[in-house]
Amino acid sequence: MITLNETKLDNKRVLVRVDFNVPLTEENGRFKVADDTRIRSTLPTLRRLLDDGASIVLMTHLGRPKSGPEDRFSLQHIVPHLSEMLGREVAFADDCVGENAFAASAALKPGQVLLLENLRFHAEEQQGDKAFAEKLSRHGDVYLNDAFGTAHRAHASTAVIAGFFAPDQRGFGLLMDAEIKNADKVLADPKRPLVAILGGAKVSGKIMIIERLLDVADTIIIGGGMSYTFAKAAGGEVGKSLVEEDRLDTARKVAELAREKGVELLLPQDSVAADAFDNEANVQVCNSQEIPDGWMGLDIGPAARKAYAEAIENAKTILWNGPMGVFELDNFQAGTKAVATAVAKSTEHGAFSLVGGGDSVAAVNRFGFAERVSYVSTGGGAMLEYFEGKTLPGIAAVKG
Ligand code: AMP
């Protein structure tokens, strides 16, 4: 397998699966890149390849086109932005497996970059079709997967295609490498104590990661909507807070397993409760197990903030997935902000901190903490599945 840090791919045509599934905005009938985080995160790989004298064929999906080409999902819209970021012209092929595309990739010279049209304009991409993957493989001498965000999908360009390259002709890009190495710093041999912070709306979405973390973490901190399923399972009154009635047993089982395994499970002692799901609603701080009828917990309270900050500041390794409250509304963001502050402080004092999963990443960005944690994962679903212990097809196929 190719390790980009050790192998110089000069004079090679390198086919790179990237995740340029970026949000676009429309202005006067023209589409523009609204957030280029995903493009930016693959720049180290692309710059390294160009510096080494390779040529690059880029392939990605964009959005969810239903059947065939649709202008609003065309990758042509990102060409100007990508060219500017790379500081060189990027050529575009209007069908990823069209004759023009093959002619353009065959004619590439060292230092040139070609972007292929949206892979998902062909249904075969998501079907993991072998013949389609084989066609795509003709674009490169070497295949690199740098799309961690889609590594949990067994699609033609993310997994099946790897089989058409010999082990020494395929590998990961620098982003994928970093994602795997950083996740393994938490999972494989963490410095202790390892504190995992889990928040967000529902227990159901996080149960597998909680179960896995019960085997590796010293402390698990629970916040957000899912803490009310735990509070109710423990016999508490939670008013009209978000509760998954069909997960009460699961919550009880998690609490029991934590006791058995000696894992400290921290639930919020108190909550900021509101009488409506609204920034202008009336609020009161109450015990998380004594939320009055008609009120709902929308954030962790001041006592929980303090207790969580203490646990986080003592950690040597931190994993954070999911906000502590409805951080999108100003009046319910104090809990998430307090946790972000504690994670940043702990990192300053030498802890390794990894933030992953869509909403916690949005939260650290919103509060300006992205530069103050050790690593922000780019893969929401993929990161969750990696932490759940699942084999990600995009990683397994390249490793072979
Ligand atoms: P998830 O995608 O499961 O990580 O959930 C993130 C969402 O959970 C965010 O949009 C938050 O607004 C929401 N959330 C966090 N805390 C609560 C809460 N106490 N009640 C309802 N929704 C919440």
Domain assignment of residue 240, yes or no: yes
Kindly report, residue by residue over 377-386, the tens digit of the pLDDT.
988 889 889 9
Per-residue pLDDT for 76 more than 90? yes
Per-residue pLDDT for 173 more than 70? yes
- Both 94 and 160 in one domain: the answer is yes
User: pTM of the full predicted structure?
Assistant: 0.90
How far, in Å, from the CA of 328 to the mean position of ligand 1?
9
User: Of 176, 199, 223, which residue constitutes the final position of a domain?
Assistant: 176
Percent of the chain with pLDDT over 90: 89
> 10 Å Cβ neighbour count for 372?
16
- Both 50 and 79 in one domain: the answer is yes
Average pLDDT, integer, range 51-55: 97
Ligand 1 cavity residues, CB under 6 Å: 200-202, 205, 224-225, 242, 297-298, 322-323, 325-326, 328, 357, 359
- Both 160 and 254 in one domain: the answer is no
Residue 38 among the catalytic residues: yes
How far, in Å, from the CA of 201 to the mean position of ligand 1?
4
Strand partners, 170: 143
Per-residue pLDDT for 48 more than 70? yes
Tokens at 8, concatenated: 């110089």
- Both 108 and 202 in one domain: the answer is no
* 3-state secondary structure string across 313-346: HCCCEEEEECCCCCCCCHHHCHHHHHHHHHHHHH
Domain assignment of residue 397, yes or no: no
- Angle 249-250-253 from CA coordinates, rounded to 5°: 85
With beta carbons less than 8 A apart as the criterion, state whether 37 and 52 touch: no
Catalytic residue from among 12, 13, 38, 206: 38
**pLDDT confidence band for 139 (50 / 70 / 90):** very high
Q: In total, how many domains does the chain have?
A: 2
Looking at residue 202, what is its pLDDT? 87
Domain assignment of residue 393, yes or no: no
Tokens at 258, concatenated: 């934590």
CA neighbor of 338 nearest in space, from 361, 312, 305, 370: 305
Name the 3-class secondary structure at 75: helix
- Both 67 and 125 in one domain: the answer is yes
Name the 3-class secondary structure at 312: helix
User: Of 126, 150, 176, which residue constitutes the final position of a domain?
Assistant: 176
> 10 Å Cβ neighbour count for 22?
21
CA distance 301 to 303: 6
Catalytic residue from among 130, 138, 185, 202: 202
- Angle 86-88-89 from CA coordinates, rounded to 5°: 120
With beta carbons less than 8 A apart as the criterion, state whether 332 and 278 touch: no
Residue pointed to by tokens 């009161």: 284
Tokens at 12, concatenated: 């090679």
Phi-psi map region of 368: left, alpha, beta (phi>0 left; psi -120 to 50 alpha): left
- Both 153 and 56 in one domain: the answer is yes
Looking at residue 5, what is its pLDDT? 84
User: Of 143, 176, 209, which residue constitutes the final position of a domain?
Assistant: 176
CA distance 103 to 123: 23
- Both 21 and 106 in one domain: the answer is yes
Helices (H), 99-245: 99-106, 124-127, 130-137, 174-187, 207-213, 227-233
Kindly report, residue by residue over 239-248, the tens digit of the pLDDT.
999 999 999 9
Per-residue pLDDT for 358 more than 70? no
Domain assignment of residue 335, yes or no: yes
**pLDDT confidence band for 366 (50 / 70 / 90):** confident
- Both 212 and 361 in one domain: the answer is yes
Average pLDDT, integer, range 337-360: 93
CB neighbour list of residue 290: distance below 8 Å, 6 or more residues apart: 236, 237
**pLDDT confidence band for 205 (50 / 70 / 90):** confident
Residue 358 among the catalytic residues: yes
Catalytic residue from among 48, 130, 358, 372: 358
Average pLDDT, integer, range 75-93: 97
Q: Which domain holds residue 313?
A: 190-387
**What CATH number does residue 249 fall under?**
3.40.50.1260
Q: Please report the atom of ligand 1 found closest to the CA of residue 241.
A: 20
How far, in Å, from the CA of 86 to the mean position of ligand 1?
36
> 10 Å Cβ neighbour count for 273?
27
> CA dihedral in degrees (164, 165, 170, 175; nearest 10)?
-20
How far, in Å, from the CA of 117 to the mean position of ligand 1?
35
Average pLDDT, integer, range 202-222: 93
Average pLDDT, integer, range 272-295: 98
With beta carbons less than 8 A apart as the criterion, state whether 20 and 39 touch: yes
Residue 262 among the catalytic residues: no
Tokens at 280, concatenated: 């202008």
- Both 83 and 13 in one domain: the answer is yes
Residue 202 among the catalytic residues: yes
Domain assignment of residue 383, yes or no: yes
Name the 3-class secondary structure at 294: coil
**pLDDT confidence band for 72 (50 / 70 / 90):** very high
